[in-house]
Structure 1
Amino acid sequence: MTAPNRAPIGVFDSGIGGLSVLQSLLTALPHEHFVYLADNGHAPYGEKTDLFVRQRSLAIAQHLIEQHHIKALVVACNTATAAAIHELRTHYPHLVLIGVEPALKPAAQSTRTGRVGVMATRGTVGSEKFARLLASMDPATHFEVKACNGLALAIEQSTLPAHAEQAQAQVSQLLRQYIQELGEFGSAPGQMDTLVLGCTHYVFAQEELQQLVGGEVRLMSTGEAVARQTHRQLEAASLLSPQAAPAQAHGRVALYTTGDLSGLKAAAHRWLQLPAGDCHLASTI
């Protein structure tokens, strides 16, 4: 039987967006092994009901515990964290659990103009968890929040070879639309000088977003903060893996999808330089 500290860390998202978090985890935890599950077959979560997202989150957690014997679970999805993290903690009180949330706190610390833009899914911005987070912020910082319907799905579909060109055009169109609707970005008084990427998918559009808002605007995501928190929690639970890791990422991570395998393969290669052989179907969850 595998020693608890040598067990893998589970990571899941509604699709490929959580690969941006996995990227940070691989860097911050070089001696750990990971099992990533993309629930593409039921994506996008951001436009589903809270009940549906909770049911999927519980089913995936159970699968990762039973099939892969994970020692920790990173919920690499803002929508799933908002809808299901409390229920997951209730069901699995002994499992190290890490969620994600939009980076409002670091954005408030970073801004010089006192104005911050937030892009997230409808499921995230409509959640009680997000409402509490927003209410907890210093009123001196103004947050302009935009629910970006369709954007996560378009980014997801841009990895599918058969739909890539059309989906990428839609991504570009939606980015321009939502940035325009948010308002004026820049470093002058009254402008937003910080943009929070409140969905892990949006990280994969950050180059185009940076061009749209200008180089002086800071983009804030959650991957590095989640990786640091995961390290802290594993260390506190004495579950960090012994320092005997492979020299490269290949072999340290297995990726699964409930949807289109070609899309996961393309995304894993494009953003993490992982080979197709690391990607598998998990259609029974």
Structure 2
Amino acid sequence: MNDGQSNDRPIIAFDSGIGGLTVLREARVLIPDRRFVYIADDAGFPYGDWEEEALKQRIVGLIDGFIGKYDPELVIIPCNTASTLVLEDLRRVFPSVPFVGTVPAIKPAAERTSSGLISVLATPGTVKRAYTRDLIQSFATKCHVRLVGSQSLARMAEMHMRGELIDDEAIRAEIAPCFYEKDGARTDIVVLACTHYPLLVNVFRRLAPWPVDWLDPAEAIARRALSLLTPNGTGVEPEHGDDIAVFTSGNPDFPTRRLLQGFGLATGVIA
């Protein structure tokens, strides 16, 4: 829309929990003239526990309902597990809606690495997807890429952001396989292939056996979303007071509501 009128159709950001807030934060910086609806499928969290076909049906059904309710201009899926599983299905089922997915940042990691040793820290679902291995085959054949699947880090990230105590040793054990040496070289980049993981990046830095570049895809996802939008033409940057958060459980707990308030999102909105 470029007629000087404000576009009230929102951008939806859909994630399994609160991990996608890392992407939402970047998107709101780059796209200040749009309204956002953040959707957390907390009733289905964590996605790593689901069978693929059941999860696929769940996500397509939920997105169908939210598209009908909000008529979004664009949908961001800031979730590697969901994107690598169901993004093509969503584009096929909803051809009139642009989708921006999230896939492991293997290409930029391969371009940046000095040692040639890269680790991809992801959920087990993302690790086992053919999509992830295809990315390695396409962009990182000259690198040694280690895939590290964590069953627990997404839960730990949610606990951490709610102010709950998490055990350093438990986190150290999850990230330890990312660090390896080969022919005198060391891992120098760890791809954060789950949008929950940047919520723990300061903890990762503190517990890492040596410094590495923790590659967060949030800014790249936001830039991709921006590239698909038509400018509003108003030149006015509205306040974000009308950005909302929706939880599929309908009942986010108090620490979560307080966290969302810190992100400037209206809370307690029931799906």
- Note whether the superposition's TM-score is higher than 0.5: yes
Give 2:47's aligned residue. Answer: 45
Q: Give the structure 2 partner of residue 279 of structure 1.
A: 267
2:171 alignment partner AA = L
Name the residue aligned to 1:202.
197
Match of residue 127, structure 2, among 125, 129, 149 = 125
**Matching residue's letter, 2:30:** A
Asked if structure 1 preserves the Cα contact closer than 8 Å seen for 2:106 and 2:140, the reply is: no
Q: 2:118 aligns with which of 91, 96, 116?
A: 116
Q: 2: CA distance between counterparts of 1:84 and 1:176? A: 31
Distance in 2 separating the partners of 1:4 and 1:135: 43
What is the aligned partner in structure 2 of residue 268 from structure 1? 260
User: Identity over aligned residues, as a percent?
Assistant: 27
User: CA contact under 8 A between 1:258 and 1:281: conserved in structure 2?
Assistant: no
Instruction: Give the partner amino acid of 1:191.
Output: R
Separation in 1, partners of 2:153, 2:225: 28
Correspondence 1:67-106 to 2 at 5 A: 67-106=69-108
Cα distance in 2 for partners of 1:174, 1:250 equals 38
Deviation at 1:265, TM superposition (A): 1.2
Structure 2: distance between partners of 1:95 and 1:35: 15
Distance 1:224 1:130 in 2: 20
Aligned equivalent of 1:226 = 221
Q: In structure 2, what is the equivalent of residue 60 of structure 1?
A: 62
Aligned counterpart, 2:23: 21
Structure 1: state its 5+ residue gaps.
Answer: none
| CA gap 1:60/1:256 in 2 versus in 1, 3 angstroms | same
Taking structure 1 as the reference length, the TM-score comes to: 0.85
1: CA distance, partners of 2:13 / 2:214: 23
Q: Secondary structure of 1:145's match?
A: strand
State the TM-score, normalized to the length of structure 2: 0.89
Cα 1:92/1:241, change in 2 over 3 Å: farther
Alignment gaps of 5+ in structure 2: none
Distance of aligned partners of 1:266 and 1:143 in 2 relative to their CA distance in 1, 3 Å threshold: farther
Question: How far does the alpha carbon of each residue in 1:7-50 deviate from its partner, in whole angstroms, 9 at most, with x for none?
Answer: 10011100000001101101110111100100011101123122
Is 1:176 the counterpart of 2:172 in the alignment?
Answer: yes
* Structure 2 partner of 1:191: 186
Q: Identify if the C-alpha distance between structure 1 residues 264 and 59 changes in structure 2 by more than 3 Å, giving closer, same or farther.
A: farther
Cα drift, residue 57 of structure 1:
1.6
Whole-angstrom CA distance in 2 between matches of 1:25 and 1:177: 32
Match of 1:249 in 2: 240
One-letter identity of the residue aligned with 1:210: R
